[in-house]
Amino acid sequence: MIRVHITGRPRFAPLRARAANVLLALSILAGGAVAADAAAAEPHWSGLPIWGVEAEERGYSLPLPFGIGITAYSARQPVNIQDLQLGRNGLPPVSVKNFLVIDKVDTSQKNASAKFDVLVLPFLDVYVLLGYTTGTTNGLIQVPGETIGGILEPRALQLNASFNGPTYGGGFTLQGGTKVSEWRDLTAFAVADLNVTQTRLSFENETLIAHTKPVAKVFSGRVGLHGVVGPSTCAAVWVGAMYQRIQQEVAGDVAGTDLQFVVLQSPVQPWNTLVGGPVEFGKDFVFLLEGGVGERKSILGAVVYRF
């Protein structure tokens, strides 16, 4: 969701963050669930979702078509620096990776965002989001031996940087389910989500100027069980996976100097495992909590109001 920005190093920080964002669009949690009784359906005042009345008359329970949500996301993961290019005086940057020893870079990111979604079809929800991302990058680059083209002297460079910026984007969610037991109206469901976000990146170190607005594509899929747990309360539990594809190239320069840089980077592991679920209070409010495990460790919390 660009949410994220994974890079915070001295010059190439934007890597990661986008993911954040962040973000997942699960505001429709059990959209394809089969209701216990198919009563006469009344259309929503908006007329949405399309074919919604027909779906409910066939026994499917649908969420209200509009949702406003607040999401908070935090993640930490290692990043590989595949190449570092340096240039001066406007000349094309050249690779210096053969002269450097780059330790694994650890990045962390946090994102808070607001999302507005619309259930267009019983199985399709579309949304836009706007948020803010902050993060840090920590690592070490060893410059051994000799001077590199007069640009870098032999030394150890600490890659500690903080970054932040607004994140915006959109995506869609596909969902469906089927009733598997009369006990608590137990329903099996699947949800797939894809979103694209961009972050206008800035460094807290004012000497670093980013020319790149990182773009992130995040795909996630979940399968789980949904059921009734109280008179007006439902809950679900799911497992799934998330894939982040982030912009590989980050470019910028150092303020007050003629030094330019280009960094090529990628996450050590683009996939991670997800475990979580929502609690629904009537049809109006949904609270969601989800954790991620693997090379990328994350936690997400969300509150959604539907109307």
Distance CA 256, CA 208 (A): 10
Q: Tell the residue number behind the tokens 């649908």, with chain if given.
A: 62
- Binned at pLDDT 50, 70 and 90, residue 236 comes out as very high
Predicted confidence (pLDDT) at residue 122 exceeds the cutoff of 80 = yes
Question: What is the count of structural domains for the chain?
Answer: 1
**Rounded to 5°, angle at Cα 170 from 169 and 175:** 155
* Residue-number span of the structural domain to which 128 is assigned: 52-78+109-136+161-253+274-306
Answer whether residue 93 is part of any domain.
no
Beta bridge partners of 258: none
Residue 10 above 80 pLDDT?
A: no
pLDDT number for residue 91: 77
**In which band, very low, low, confident or very high, does the pLDDT at 139 lie, cut at 50, 70 and 90?**
confident
pLDDT at position 8 is 32
Whole-angstrom distance, CA of residue 141 vs CA of residue 238: 40
Instruction: Please give the pLDDT value at position 204.
Output: 74
| 67 assigned to some structural domain | yes
Does residue 98 lie within any of the structural domains? no
Q: Is the pTM of this model over 0.95?
A: no
Torsion of CA 140, 202, 166, 247, to 10 degrees: -50
**Per the domain annotation, does 123 fall within a domain?**
yes
Query: Residue 241 and residue 303: Cα distance in Å, rounded?
Result: 21
Rounded to 5°, angle at Cα 219 from 294 and 175? 115
CATH of residue 62: 2.40.160
Check if the beta carbon of residue 256 is closer than 8 Å to that of residue 84. Answer: no
In a domain, 166, yes or no: yes
Q: Does residue 88 lie in a domain region?
A: no
Give residue-wise pLDDT tens across range 187-216: 999 999 999 999 987 877 655 666 667 888
| pLDDT score, position 147 | 53
* Coil/strand/helix, residue 57: helix
Q: What is the largest CA-CA distance in the chain?
A: 80
